[in-house]
Amino acid sequence: MSASVLFGFFALAAGRRISIPKPGSSSSTFFCVYATTIQCADGSAFPAELRVYSPPGNIPLSDNTIVFLLAKMYAPTSGDFLLDAISLYPVPGDPSDDAYQDNVPDMPYPLLSLLGCVTAQAVVVSGSRHFPVRVQEYVRDETRESLINCIIPGNSPRWERVPPPNPFSLIYYRHEAPQERQSRQRTGW
């Protein structure tokens, strides 16, 4: 059992409507797909593709529309994150208006909430304890697995006496978007 959910404010671009045939049927399900970015506290960003169910007659949102999003997330070791919307709420107003962003609450970085299995012992890096967590989420019509490097900060008195979880422990973890990226796994959560 695991889950990987991302929530926060996201700007959308390049919206297009697609159809996906239903297996064993002559009908299709329609989605809107958007390009977006997961912005991080250290200034880095990860490209992402968001898929949203699109009811009949729906049209994609305008470029630069900002939405509050709750989405299931898949973080591959390379390439774009894949997000499937659970809930999406566009910020009211005209995205082309210079004052549009004034309507957006000050929440610059999304939050990650995950439930997964620790896969190895924690490693100390610059005083912080890093440990890998394997999570699975149903994204793009299949179960996909991500490996997230979770961190217990070493520079915080709040966490100095908290031991890292043991390998094979099931944990719940919530944190702001990543602050760094290693070549083969998503890190900094």
Structure tokens at 145: 């697995």
Note whether residue 105 is domain-resident.
no
Does residue 93 share a domain with residue 7? yes
The predicted pLDDT at position 1 comes to 56
Is the pLDDT at 178 greater than 80? The verdict is: no
Q: Which of 43, 69, 97 is the last residue of a domain?
A: 97
- Dihedral of CA atoms 122, 123, 128, 134 in degrees, nearest 10, equals -50
Note whether residue 103 is domain-resident.
no
CATH of the domain at 50: 2.40.50.140
Does residue 91 share a domain with residue 126? no
Q: Which of 97, 124, 149 is the last residue of a domain?
A: 97
Statement: the pTM of the whole predicted model exceeds 0.85: yes
Q: Which domain holds residue 63?
A: 3-97
Q: What is the pLDDT of residues 128-177, one digit of tens each?
A: 999 999 999 999 999 999 998 888 888 888 888 889 999 999 999 887 76
**Tally of structural domains, the chain:** 2
The number of beta carbons lying within 10 Å of the beta carbon of residue 22 is 10
Q: Which of 36, 69, 97 is the last residue of a domain?
A: 97
Note whether residue 85 is domain-resident.
yes
Does residue 92 share a domain with residue 25? yes
Buried b (16+ CB within 10 A) or exposed e, 134-164: bbbbebeeeebebbbbbbbeeeeeeeeeeeb
Does residue 129 share a domain with residue 155? yes
Note whether residue 136 is domain-resident.
yes
The predicted pLDDT at position 89 comes to 97
The predicted pLDDT at position 184 comes to 37
Q: What is the pLDDT of residues 79-101, one digit of tens each?
A: 999 999 999 999 999 999 999 99
Q: What is the pLDDT of residues 9-55, one digit of tens each?
A: 999 999 999 999 888 888 899 999 999 999 887 788 899 999 999 99
Task: Give one DSSP letter per residue of 103-120, joined into a string.
Answer: GS-S--S-EEEEEEEE-S
Note whether residue 104 is domain-resident.
no
